[in-house]
Amino acid sequence: MCVRLLRLGLVSLLLSSLAGCASSCANDHAFQEKVHSLCAPAAACTPQIPATVPPVEPKLEGEHVIDFYVQAALTRNPDILAAERQVAAQAEVVPQVTSLPDPVLSGNLYPSQNQTIQTAAGFVRTNLVISQQFPWCGKLRLRGEVARQNTKIALTQLAATQLKVIEDVKLVYYDIYFNRRALKIIDDSEKLLREDFIDPARAGVGKTTRLDLMRGEVELVKLRDQRISLRQRLIQAQADLSKILSTSPDSNLASADVFDLPAVPDQLDRLYQAALISRPELQERLQTTARDERLVELARLNYVPDLTVGFVWYDVVANDALSKTANGENALGIAFGVNLPIWQRKLQAGVREAQNREARSARLYQSSRDDTLRLIRRLTVQAHSLEQQLELYRKELVPSAVEALRIAHEGHKTETVNPVRVVDNWLQLMTLWLQQARLETSLGQTLASLERVVGEQLTRMKDGPGAAVCPPSGIPPSGQRRPDADQDQLPLRRDESLPPPQRLDAAPPDEPE
C-alpha cells in the first residue's frame, strides 16, 4: 500500500512540474510579446525636447581663416554659453544671501471656551505672533562676500572654458590644414612621378627596365593608400571642429592654404608673470582661497547668537468671562529670543573645517602655479625646437632634395643615372615635404597650447607690454626680496599657524549633551 501511494505521489509531482513548465513558457512568451509591443512605439516616436533647449545653429561651410572659427566658437559653443549662464546664475545668489530671512507668522487658536486662557480682561480666543530673525552683525556681509567670490570663481571658469575652446579650435584647425596640405603634396608628387618617370618609361625613354617601371607603379599605389588615410583623418577632424562650432557634422569646414604663426617668445620671465596674472586656473585658486578665508570668519561668528524680535497680539473676548471686570480689550506684546550656541565641539569643528579648507586651497594654488611654470617651460622648449627644425627643412633639406631630384632626372634622360635613383630621390623629396607640413602643424598646435597655459594670445604680448610685465600683487619681482623678510629665517608656511589635523582615533570622547 505504501509503495502504491509513493508511486501515485511521484506521478502527480511529475505531472504538476510539466504543467508548471508549460505555463511558465507560455507566460514568458506572453511577457516577451508585451515588452516588444511597448518598445516598438517608443523607438518609433520622436523624443520630446523641452522648450528651453535652443534650436540647432545654422550650418557653416567653406574655407575660412582661423580667426573666423575662433570667433564663431566663442559665440556658438554650448560649453561657453552654459558657463555664461552659470555666471549669471551665481550673481543672483548675492542678493539672496545678503537679505534677511523671511519673517515668520504663527498663532494659536482655542476653539473651546473651556480650554482657553482666562484673564482679568476676558478669555483669549486666539493670538498671533510675527517674528523676524536678525543675524549677528557681519554674518550677512560675509555671506555676501562669499557669494561674490563664488561669482568671481564662475567668471574664471568661464574664461578657462573660453581658452580651452580656443585651443581646441586651433588644434583641430591645424589638423585640417595638415591633412589638406598632405593631400595636395600627394597629388603634386603623383603628378611629378608620372611626368618625370612613369610616362617617359612607358614611352621607352632611357634604359628603364620593366622592374624599374613596376617599382614606380608600386609607389603610385602607395600614394593611393596614403590618400585614403588622409581623407579619413580630414573628415574626422572636420567632424571634431563641427562639434566645437555646434554645427552639422557633415559640414565641409576647410582651412586657409597659408597662415601666419606668432613668433616663439624668448622671455620666459615675461611668460611666467603673464601666466600668474592671466591664467584663469590660477585666478580661480586665488579666488577660492579668498572665499575660504571669508568662510573661516563666518565660522567664527557662529559663536555669537542671532537675535529674533517679534510682536504678539492677543484676541481677548469679554463675553462669558469669569471676571466681572472683564473689558475685552486686546493685548499687544513684544517677543524676543536668541539662539544659544552652547555646543562647543560643533562650533570648534566648524572653524577647524574652514581653516583646513583654506589651507587646502592655498596648497592647490601652489600646485597649479608650479604646474603652470613647468608647462610653460616644456612648451617653450618644444616650440623653439620645432622652429629650428622647420628652418632647417625650409633652407637646407627641402632645397637639397629638390636639386637632387633634378640632377637624377637629367641623368636618367642621358642614361647616366640608374632609374631607381630617380624614384628614391622623388620618394625622399615627398617625405621631406610631408615632414615639413607636419612640423608647421606641430608648431602651430604647440603655440596654441602655450597660449592656453599662459592665458593670453602671444600676438598681444608681442604688440604691447600690457600688464604682463607687472608682477601680481603680493609677489616680489625676481631677484628682489620683501623688506620685512628675515634672511636667517624661512618664511612661515600658510598652514603652520593652523591647528594640526586630528585623527579619528585620537578624538576626545563624546561630551554629554
pLDDT tens track for 415-459: 777 777 888 888 999 999 999 999 999 999 999 999 999 998 887
Q: Is 129 helix (H, G, I), strand (E, B) or coil?
A: strand
Q: State the pLDDT at residue 60.
A: 82
Residue 513's pLDDT band (cuts 50, 70, 90): very low
CA dihedral 277, 283, 287, 290 (to 10 degrees): -50
Check if the beta carbon of residue 86 is closer than 8 Å to that of residue 153: no
* Residue 244: φ, ψ to 5°: -65, -40
**Is residue 120's pLDDT more than 80?**
no
Please state, in angstroms and rounded to a whole number, the distance separating the CA atoms of residues 464 and 84: 29
Please state, in angstroms and rounded to a whole number, the distance separating the CA atoms of residues 438 and 431: 10
- Residue 307's nearest CA partner among 489, 135, 422, 80 is 135
Extended beta strands in 267-306, E state: none
DSSP 455: T
- Residue 465's nearest CA partner among 265, 167, 286, 166 is 265
**Is residue 505's pLDDT more than 90?**
no
Residue 37's pLDDT band (cuts 50, 70, 90): low
Residue 464's pLDDT band (cuts 50, 70, 90): very low
pLDDT tens-place string over residues 245-262: 999 888 899 998 887 888
Residue 467's pLDDT band (cuts 50, 70, 90): very low
Please state, in angstroms and rounded to a whole number, the distance separating the CA atoms of residues 430 and 216: 14
Identify which has the larger pLDDT, 283 or 463. 283
Identify which has the larger pLDDT, 437 or 414. 437
- Residue 175's nearest CA partner among 220, 124, 234, 131 is 234
**Is residue 378's pLDDT more than 50?**
yes
**Is residue 461's pLDDT more than 80?**
no
Per-chain mean pLDDT for the chain: 81
Q: What does each C-alpha distance from 7 to 13, 16, 42, 121, 389 come to in angstroms?
A: 10, 14, 53, 94, 94
Give the mean pLDDT of 147-165.
95
* Cell numbers that stand for 61 in this block: 561651410
- Kindly give the residue spans of alpha helices, DSSP state H, lying in 45-100: 66-76, 78-91, 93-97
Please state, in angstroms and rounded to a whole number, the distance separating the CA atoms of residues 278 and 156: 10
% of the chain beyond a pLDDT of 70: 78
Identify which has the larger pLDDT, 7 or 189. 189
Residue 71's pLDDT band (cuts 50, 70, 90): very high
Check if the beta carbon of residue 254 is closer than 8 Å to that of residue 176: yes
**Is residue 51's pLDDT more than 90?**
no
* Cell numbers that stand for 358 in this block: 583654506
Q: Is 125 helix (H, G, I), strand (E, B) or coil?
A: strand
Check if the beta carbon of residue 267 is closer than 8 Å to that of residue 478: no
Residue 151's pLDDT band (cuts 50, 70, 90): very high
Please state, in angstroms and rounded to a whole number, the distance separating the CA atoms of residues 270 and 126: 75
**Is residue 200's pLDDT more than 80?**
no
Q: State the pLDDT at residue 185.
A: 94
**Top-confidence range, 9-18, 393-402, 488-497:** 393-402
- Residues comprising the chain, all counted: 513
Q: Which of 124-128, 174-178, 269-273, 486-490 has the lowest mean pLDDT?
A: 486-490
Half-sphere CA count of 376, side-chain side, radius 13 A: 25
Residue 500's pLDDT band (cuts 50, 70, 90): very low
Task: Give the position of cell 514568458.
Answer: 28
Return all residues near 200 (Cβ < 8 A) that are at least 6 apart: 206, 208, 412, 413
Task: Give the position of cell 603610385.
Answer: 220
Q: State the pLDDT at residue 219.
A: 85
Residue 460's pLDDT band (cuts 50, 70, 90): low
Give the mean pLDDT of 174-194.
92
Q: State the pLDDT at residue 44.
A: 52
- Residue 129's nearest CA partner among 346, 289, 315 is 315
pTM as predicted: 0.77
Check if the beta carbon of residue 326 is closer than 8 Å to that of residue 158: no
Q: State the pLDDT at residue 17.
A: 53
Give the mean pLDDT of 394-400.
93
* Cell numbers that stand for 357 in this block: 579648507
Identify which has the larger pLDDT, 163 or 465. 163
Give the mean pLDDT of 181-203.
84
Q: Is 108 helix (H, G, I), strand (E, B) or coil?
A: strand
**Is residue 497's pLDDT more than 60?**
no
* Residue 441: φ, ψ to 5°: -65, -45
Give the mean pLDDT of 218-229.
91
% of the chain beyond a pLDDT of 90: 53
Return all residues near 287 (Cβ < 8 A) that are at least 6 apart: 149, 152, 153, 156
Q: State the pLDDT at residue 495.
A: 42
Q: State the pLDDT at residue 367.
A: 96
Give the mean pLDDT of 207-224.
80
Q: State the pLDDT at residue 199.
A: 75
Identify which has the larger pLDDT, 22 or 107. 107
**Amino acid in position 410:** E
Residue 79's pLDDT band (cuts 50, 70, 90): very high
Identify which has the larger pLDDT, 357 or 210. 357
Residue 511's pLDDT band (cuts 50, 70, 90): very low
Type and span of the H or E element at 494: none
Q: State the pLDDT at residue 419.
A: 75
CA dihedral 443, 444, 450, 452 (to 10 degrees): -160
Q: Is 124 helix (H, G, I), strand (E, B) or coil?
A: strand
**Is residue 116's pLDDT more than 60?**
yes
What is the residue-wise DSSP string for 161-222?
HHHHHHHHHHHHHHHHHHHHHHHHHHHHHHHHHIIIIIHHHHTT-SS--HHHHHHHHHHHHH
Identify which has the larger pLDDT, 102 or 15. 102
What is the residue-wise DSSP string for 398-444?
HHHHHHHHHHHHHHHHTT-S-HHHHHHHHHHHHHHHHHHHHHHHHHH
Please state, in angstroms and rounded to a whole number, the distance separating the CA atoms of residues 317 and 126: 10
Q: What does each C-alpha distance from 107 to 127, 129, 330, 474 come to in angstroms?
A: 5, 6, 15, 57
* Residue 309: φ, ψ to 5°: -125, 140
Identify which has the larger pLDDT, 201 or 334. 334
Identify which has the larger pLDDT, 347 or 35. 347
Q: State the pLDDT at residue 8.
A: 53
**Is residue 463's pLDDT more than 60?**
no
Check if the beta carbon of residue 308 is closer than 8 Å to that of residue 131: yes
Identify which has the larger pLDDT, 204 or 10. 204
What is the residue-wise DSSP string for 300-353?
HHTTSPPEEEEEEEEEEE-TT-SSTT-----EEEEEEEE-----HHHHHHHHHH
- Residue 457's nearest CA partner among 78, 132, 162, 43 is 162
